Chains A and B, each alone.
Chain A
Amino acid sequence: MVSTVSKYIRRSPYQALSAAAIMSLTFFTISVFALLTILSVRFISYFESRPQLTVFFKDTASRSDISALENKLKDTGKTSTVTYVSKEDALKIYKEQNKSDPILLDLVTADILPASIEVQAKQAQDLTSLAGIVRGSPLIEEVVFQKDIVDTLVSWTAAVRKIGLAVVAILIAVSTLMIITIIGIKITVRREEIETMRLLGASNWFIRAPFLLEGAFYGLIGSLVGGMISIGLFYYFAPNLESFLRGVAIFPLSPLIMGELLVIEVIIACGLGMFASYLAVLRYLK
């Protein structure tokens, strides 16, 4: 059976190449969007794990003023933690985040960074009332809701995911049609041979199986090529991305995740290839 499939593929190498190429493109795109999804989930998780409310103080605010505000927040009973971050602590965090860039470190001192408090609420719906307490104070420079950031990220990633799904759906449809056409052509070219095999006693399975395996083979090659190129590109550009998203802990992505992604893609691709071939077989081998 395997030798029959290999013979079918060798006899029309350009058709095989076209099928494998379109499958590669499809699964390259699927890999890219899968990786983007993984990264966006990590990105959002990172912001979700951050303090829900960050209150930045003006330089005029003294430590005692800040402590008074901290106590006021704690007294509401709605906070789970309230953490003070001094200008010096902020500098330490900044240095940690930018340790690979000495120019940025040289330019920044503790004086230009604001002191802040990071607030975690017991319940998300209490954040608005907690923000209301701090917003009234003349000591406050800025109040940052993590929820706003997360909501924005979620809407962005949802949009990217929708675009990705649409592109992937189109590519899957094109790949399926391409495989149906290629397998259909092969069946048509082999019509006489298939007829002879039938008349000599070949079962339907014996005639159909090589075409189904051929479809699965295109899926296998396509997913391996597409998946490996996208994973390779990801690892190649990861340092740049990591540097760009300085301080946002979404890296590294373990090779295990990549392996799992590749295995899932191979399974889906082989299934897709077989399904497309099956449609061709139903259409052309009545």
Chain B
Amino acid sequence: MIVFQNVTKKYGTADPVLAGINFIIDKGNFAYLVGPTGSGKTTIFRLIIRDVIPTEGTIAVGDFEVDKISKSKVPHLRRRVGVVFQDLKLLADRTVAENVMLPLDFAGMSETEAKRRAEEILIEVGLGDKKDHFPAQLSGGESQRVAIARALVFNPDLILADEPTGNLDTKTSFQILDLLKGINKKGTTVFMATHDDKLIGQEDRVIVLESGKIVEDRKPAVKSSHKEKKEEKTEKTDKINLESLAKK
């Protein structure tokens, strides 16, 4: 689903924000991107949706060669990737339902159909009764849910969640995590940035960033089912591929 090959990102002549980043996240995986503030987590997400382009290396997301696609294709890429931004980016002057409907407007969906779809998603994230509220009238957890609903509204292949539990208490953080895990169980790949270790389990895929470099890429250790064995095999293959790519 996501392939980073030797990706480096520099701004001007300063030291690189990211240096030699290699990783692969398979379709349907749930992966964490962990690291302290300023380690480059958000830059990785910005690279995935081509908000910025890499200085070196290549990035693929699904069928999109992100670093090579034309500007006119960027909106198509972004409609396949649902993003929960760190600052949420909810529009204050629009209701919850209107915020969720926003991406559907871009696709030219009729207002009635968009409204129906938005309401469906809001029920799914537990906010069916808040559709006419404005973002300022919501709690932190509810706002996160709206951002998740907006990311989900297009049925994306991939969800990027940038610190979705950043400002939430532990209980609400786990509720948001459960919601994202539930989405992942339905087949959507979820890539979540966090610096909250409490949320990460032993069996989770974790990419650890420090000062723009991957210092650890921990893959699920416990595999029991046939499916998981198959996934493990794929991940090993990915690792071999990455190593060979890194050597090139």
- Interface residues of chain A, those whose CB is within 8 Å of chain B, are 192-193, 195-197, 199-204, 206
Contacts and interface: CB of A to CB of B under 8 A. Distances in A.
B75, B91, B107: most-surrounded residue (chain A CB, <10 A): B75
Given A202-B75, A203-B75, A197 B106 contact: yes
Interface string B140-169: 000000000010001000000000000000
B102 A197 contact: yes
Interface of B: 49, 51, 71-72, 75-79, 83, 85, 89, 91, 102-103, 105-107, 150, 154
A196 B89 contact: yes
A200 B149 CA distance: 13
A203 B105 CA distance: 11
A200 B150 contact: yes
Contacts of A197: 102, 106
Contacts of A202: 75, 103, 105-106
Nearest to A4: B105
Contacts of A206: 105-106
A203 B51 contact: no
B72, B102, B106: most-surrounded residue (chain A CB, <10 A): B106
Contacts of A204: 71
B85 A199 contact: yes
Contact of A196 (B71, B91, B105, B154): B91
A200 B91 contact: no
A35 B85 CA distance: 58
Shortest beta-carbon contacts, A-B, top 5: A201-B78, A201-B79, A196-B89, A202-B106, A203-B75
Nearest to A1: B105
B94 to A, nearest CB: 9
Contacts of A200: 78, 83, 102-103, 106, 150
B76 A201 contact: yes
A206 B109 CA distance: 13
B78 A193 contact: no
Contact of B83 (A193, A195, A199, A203): A199
A274 B103 CA distance: 26
A201 B103 contact: yes
B89 A199 contact: yes
A257 to B, nearest CB: 42
Nearest to B154: A201
A199 B51 contact: yes
Contacts of B150: 200
Nearest to A196: B89
Given A196-B102, A201-B78, A201-B154, 13 more contacts: A196-B91, A197-B102, A199-B78, A199-B83, A199-B85, A200-B102, A200-B103, A201-B77, A201-B79, A201-B106, A202-B75, A202-B105, A203-B75
23 contacts: A192-B89, A193-B91, A195-B89, A197-B102, A197-B106, A199-B49, A199-B83, A199-B85, A200-B78, A200-B102, A200-B103, A200-B106, A200-B150, A201-B76, A201-B78, A201-B103, A201-B154, A202-B75, A202-B103, A203-B72, A203-B75, A203-B106, A206-B105
Contacts of A201: 75-79, 103, 106-107, 154
B202 to A, nearest CB: 34
A203 B72 CA distance: 8
Contacts of B76: 201
A239 B51 CA distance: 66
A53 B64 CA distance: 83
B129 to A, nearest CB: 24
A200 B94 CA distance: 15
Nearest to B85: A199
Nearest to A207: B106
Contacts of B78: 199-201
A13 to B, nearest CB: 15
A197 B150 CA distance: 12
A197 to B, nearest CB: 7
